[in-house]
Structure 1
Amino acid sequence: MFIKHETLSCILLIVAYVVINSYCIQNFGLADYRSTLINTLISIFLIWLIIKLGRVRYYGLVKVHAPKKYLYFIPLILIATVNLWGGLKINFTVGETLFFILTMINVGFIEELIFRGFLFKMMAKDNLKMAIMVSAVTFGIGHIINLLNGSDLIPTLLQIFYAVALGYLFVIIFYKSKSLVPCIVTHILINVLSIFNANTNNTSYLIPLFIIIVSVCYALYINKKVKVA
């Protein structure tokens, strides 16, 4: 049924995830055990679905061959550290921090699978360029839901812009290497380390700019230097 109605299935997956995760944020917060439990169940469901479809490799859950071609993903490491630039701050209790980290691990995994794995692979069969663009843009636009969750306008707009750039980089890595693992790991690290962000004004605009520049430049480098695996 999933393969027969793949387009509809992908759309429903994305809509369901956005609605469910928004509900969790609004009603429980990301540092609550209920958000962790719900997102963990979504992750388990997606893993079961991928195994059931026999598409583990198809959706990129494999290691990267020849990482040297990708400069050993050093730019991704730099991007993953941005939340530590303004210093470290413990914003929650030990229990809340644990649940936040577990939730963010699931969120990074889920979002890479549905935006890069399911959505991109579904569209790439018919139009590769459109698939790349849609995967990147929808990932960025999806963050507009944060406005409904109480975030301020300007920070949310900045987040949308750098999420589009990051989404573009991730989809290029997935397309070229056939592995989603580097994207999942980086996404998880960005999310997890956000809990220790001191939120200083000195880095509030520098970080989005850095992510955009590094993401676009790294993606262009990979696009030019690396052949499709």
Structure 2
Amino acid sequence: MKTQAKQVNPSLARFTDKRPVLSVVIIELLLLVAMFVAGAFATIQELSYTAPVLIAFIPISIVLIACLTWKKSWGRYGFRPLSTIPARNWMYYLPLVLALLIVALNGFRSFTIKEAMFFVFFTLMVGFVEETVYRGLILHILLRHKSVTAAVLTSSLLFSVTHVLNMLSGQSAEDTLVQLVYALLTGAALALLIVKNHNIIPLIIYHFIHNLIQFLGQDGRGVSVWDYVILVILLLHCLWLMFSLKKNSAVPGVSGSTKEMA
């Protein structure tokens, strides 16, 4: 059954309730500005390529943890026990496992324990921040006021837009285009999964493992046929999830979507 949003006095309503679109725009702009400023500082100081993310994401993660704890809203944004996911719904994560296996096919470079530990921290932080912002805050705000389709598309497009910054790193146009489409389809699949299961933990785990494999993988690899295979998998994954949600919503007493993740 659809969750009915509480009737709130307009004068007492939260800013995100009164201005949902503006709230999403502000969140996205704040993240982009933080990344731009951190990138500019790292460039001037000639810091390592991971420095911009560290400079921007460490304070962001601290703020997110503090706010979610202070407002006791972890569950609202999908931080729930994995046991809350119905056993039959775990099959919807299998395409992500397949994508990880394909990413790992490129092999791994040699690395030290210290380097591995750093990238575990780095990629876990990135996974936490990006999933909390896009599949937590932004998607949650949009689902309260917009359709599932609009919420998923908007959050996915914004997630993809943040990767435009990679164009500044000098990579080829093909690499950038594939990365943007990759981010768009990944964002859509993950957004549909949280609409399906209301749990952000598996998404953070996937994001973390995916990025960790890439950082510890072989250097200097451009776009390959396997990247296009993953794009097809993600596209089919999105279609599968959309069909599942539509099918569930057509069954009396069963909702494949929700206007609000309580």
Query: Structure 1 length normalisation: TM-score?
Result: 0.84
Partner of 1:104: 123
Q: CA deviation at 1:140?
A: 1.4
Change (3 A) 1:123 1:110: same
Change (3 A) 1:82 1:21: farther
Whether the aligned pair in 1 keeps the contact of 2:89 and 2:197 (CA below 8 Å) is: no
Aligned AA (1:122): I
* C-alpha distance in structure 1 between counterparts of 2:87 and 2:175, whole Å: 34
Q: CA deviation at 1:131?
A: 0.9
Question: 3-state SS of the aligned residue for 1:146?
Answer: helix
Partner of 1:61: 79
* C-alpha distance in structure 2 between counterparts of 1:68 and 1:30, whole Å: 41
Task: State, as a whole percentage, how many aligned pairs show the same letter.
Answer: 21
Q: Which string of whole-angstrom CA distances, capped at 9 and with x for unpartnered residues, describes residues 27-73 of structure 1?
A: 133545x8546523321211221222332111101124114323162
Establish whether residue 192 from structure 1 lines up as the match of residue 212 from structure 2: yes
Partner of 1:215: 234
* C-alpha distance in structure 1 between counterparts of 2:146 and 2:232, whole Å: 26
Partner of 1:114: 133
Change (3 A) 1:19 1:93: farther
Q: Which has the larger radius of gyration?
A: 2
- Which runs of no fewer than 5 residues in structure 2 stay unpaired? 1-12, 249-255, 258-262
- Which runs of no fewer than 5 residues in structure 1 stay unpaired? none
Whether the aligned pair in 2 keeps the contact of 1:173 and 1:222 (CA below 8 Å) is: yes
* C-alpha distance in structure 2 between counterparts of 1:96 and 1:70, whole Å: 32
Aligned AA (1:4): R
Query: Structure 2 length normalisation: TM-score?
Result: 0.74
Whether the aligned pair in 2 keeps the contact of 1:144 and 1:157 (CA below 8 Å) is: no
Aligned AA (2:137): F
* C-alpha distance in structure 2 between counterparts of 1:222 and 1:12, whole Å: 29
Q: 1:225 aligns with which of 244, 250, 259?
A: 244
Aligned AA (2:168): L
Q: 2:62 aligns with which of 41, 44, 60?
A: 44
Q: CA deviation at 1:114?
A: 0.9
* C-alpha distance in structure 2 between counterparts of 1:70 and 1:223, whole Å: 16
Whether the aligned pair in 1 keeps the contact of 2:28 and 2:158 (CA below 8 Å) is: no
Matches within 5 A, 1:143-154: 143-154=163-174
Change (3 A) 1:181 1:218: same
* C-alpha distance in structure 1 between counterparts of 2:88 and 2:168, whole Å: 42
* C-alpha distance in structure 2 between counterparts of 1:83 and 1:22, whole Å: 28
Q: 2:152 aligns with which of 122, 126, 132?
A: 132
* C-alpha distance in structure 1 between counterparts of 2:162 and 2:92, whole Å: 29
* C-alpha distance in structure 2 between counterparts of 1:170 and 1:67, whole Å: 18
Whether the aligned pair in 1 keeps the contact of 2:163 and 2:180 (CA below 8 Å) is: yes
Aligned AA (2:29): V
Q: 1:156 aligns with which of 176, 179, 199?
A: 176
Judge which range, 94-103 or 81-90, deviates more: 94-103
Q: CA deviation at 1:223?
A: 2.8
* C-alpha distance in structure 1 between counterparts of 2:38 and 2:112, whole Å: 19
* C-alpha distance in structure 2 between counterparts of 1:188 and 1:123, whole Å: 25
* C-alpha distance in structure 2 between counterparts of 1:42 and 1:126, whole Å: 25
Judge which range, 145-154 or 35-44, deviates more: 35-44
